Amino acid sequence: MDDPALTSLAGRRCVVTGGLGFIGSNMVHALVAAGARVTVIDALVPQHGGHERNLAGVADDVHVVRADIGDTTAVPDAVRGAELVFNVAGQVSHHESMTDPLRDLDLNARSHLAFLEILRAHNPRATVVHTSTRQVYGRPRYLPVDEDHPTAPVDVNGIDKLAGEQFHLLYARVHGMPTCALRLTNVYGPRQSLLIDGLGFLPVFVRRAMAGQPLSVYGDGGQLRDCLHVDDVVRAMVLAAVTPEAVGEVFNLGHPDALSLLQIAHLTADAAGAGTQVATVPWPDALAAIDIGSFQGDYSKAKRMLGWEPAVGFRDGIARTLAYYREHPWYRSST
């Protein structure tokens, strides 16, 4: 990724929490390529999709700390002296947050508050970029959704992610710590686990399409989504980290192309070229209860303040994603 903001990080010490997972590992690869000095903090929580092989090719250039981000024994040394912290750790499964809400609370709220306390004690001047989610808005009252839209999450995950985000912004206001938050929409791309359900519909589509298996879309498939390639997310995180005006702010990340789930399924199946069929099926009751309907994020604030806008369209992005998984078949195997 040839970006002036990223190349400006050469030689700077960066910490990536959740750096063995999907978005975090892509951030690590980009930082190492830019010449940054990188420490990863990751507990490798089961069912989150993290794996050491996500750092293949850069592992020798990265210091990995296996710990929960709230671990007061291991984490202080890991963050001490860091200039930039990309806080990507957390759980993303909406369904699991409803079946085990206390675990989600621990992973997305308590641990982040503990992490902020560690930073406040040992490195309060580090710039922190926290990844939040569009799930905090709940069911949109209008589209596209801007940052002034009310927050009314429809599941435990959305509530806990909102709490984690607000902790970061509170620490900016009250303790003067340079933190900000990005609300992500559906992110896809390389290094995302394809074998674990609950990480979003896109990895399920990719896995099944590459195997020639049918894709099931709930309801009539008309719900809109603005999907973001992970490279665009990494670029936004870097821009937020190097923009002083971002401190204390929250930003939507979105895409101008809002596609229906049925369109996304067909585009994924066509790109896979394995003869996958697409069909609509009724909503399961448990998922229908937490569905948000259509969503598209208004990213004009990020464009205005960070100079960010997405560069990867879905048709190109999904083709690049499938090519990556063809070259790295272990993502589709349990061995």
| Token output for 249 | 């702010």
Asked whether residue 284 is assigned to any structural domain, the reply reads no
Say if strands 250-252 and 13-17 run parallel, antiparallel, or are unpaired.
Answer: unpaired
Q: Phi and psi for 102 in degrees, rounded to 5? A: -70, -35
Digit-coded pLDDT (tens) for 154-200 = 999 999 999 999 999 999 999 999 999 999 999 999 999 998 887 78
Residue 222 has pLDDT above 70, yes or no: yes
Give the mean model confidence (pLDDT) for residues 302-319. 98
What's the pTM value of the predicted model, to 2 decimals? 0.96
Asked whether residue 274 is assigned to any structural domain, the reply reads no
Q: Between helices 230-242 and 22-34, what is the axis angle to 10°? A: 60
d(CA 145, CA 295): 7
Asked whether residue 99 is assigned to any structural domain, the reply reads yes
Quote the domain boundaries for residue 126.
9-190+229-255+297-311
- Buried b or exposed e, range 135-154, using 16+ CB within 10 angstroms: bbbbebeebbbebebeeebb
For the chain, what is the domain count? Answer: 1
Find where tokens 């990719």 sit: 206
Inter-residue contact 41 to 16 (CB < 8 Å): yes
Asked whether residue 209 is assigned to any structural domain, the reply reads no
CB within 8 A of 282, min separation 6: which ones?
218, 219
d(CA 318, CA 271): 7
Give the mean model confidence (pLDDT) for residues 73-88. 98
Chain mean pLDDT for the chain = 95
Alpha-carbon separation of residue 163 from 59, 102, 289, 316, 324 (angstroms): 33, 14, 21, 35, 35
pLDDT at residue 335 in the model = 56
pLDDT at residue 1 in the model = 59
Query: Under DSSP, is residue 269 helix (H, G, I), strand (E, B) or coil?
Result: helix
Digit-coded pLDDT (tens) for 263-286 = 999 999 999 999 999 999 999 888
* Comparison of pLDDT for 49 and 32, the residue scoring more: 32
**Other beta carbons within 10 Å of 76:** 14
Digit-coded pLDDT (tens) for 13-26 = 999 999 999 999 99
d(CA 324, CA 311): 18
Sign of the alpha-carbon dihedral angle for 48, 54, 59, 62:
negative
pLDDT at residue 200 in the model = 87
Q: How confident is the model at residue 48 (pLDDT cuts 50, 70, 90)?
A: confident
d(CA 197, CA 201): 8
Say if strands 127-133 and 84-87 run parallel, antiparallel, or are unpaired.
Answer: parallel
**Other beta carbons within 10 Å of 98:** 17
- pLDDT over 90, % of the chain: 90
DSSP state of 121: H
Asked whether residue 286 is assigned to any structural domain, the reply reads no
Digit-coded pLDDT (tens) for 118-140 = 999 999 999 999 999 999 999 99
DSSP state of 109: I
* Comparison of pLDDT for 159 and 289, the residue scoring more: 159
| Token output for 140 | 């949109």
d(CA 274, CA 19): 32
Residue 27 has pLDDT above 90, yes or no: yes
Give the mean model confidence (pLDDT) for residues 81-91. 97
DSSP for 210-226, written as a single string: HTT--EEEETTS--EE-
**Other beta carbons within 10 Å of 159:** 22
Residue 242 has pLDDT above 80, yes or no: yes
Asked whether residue 196 is assigned to any structural domain, the reply reads no
Residue 287 has pLDDT above 90, yes or no: no
Query: Under DSSP, is residue 37 helix (H, G, I), strand (E, B) or coil?
Result: strand
Asked whether residue 273 is assigned to any structural domain, the reply reads no
Give the mean model confidence (pLDDT) for residues 199-218. 94
Asked whether residue 321 is assigned to any structural domain, the reply reads no
Q: What share of the chain is helix, strand, coil (3-state, %, to 5)?
A: 45, 15, 40
DSSP state of 141: S
What CATH number is given to the structural domain containing 175? 3.40.50.720
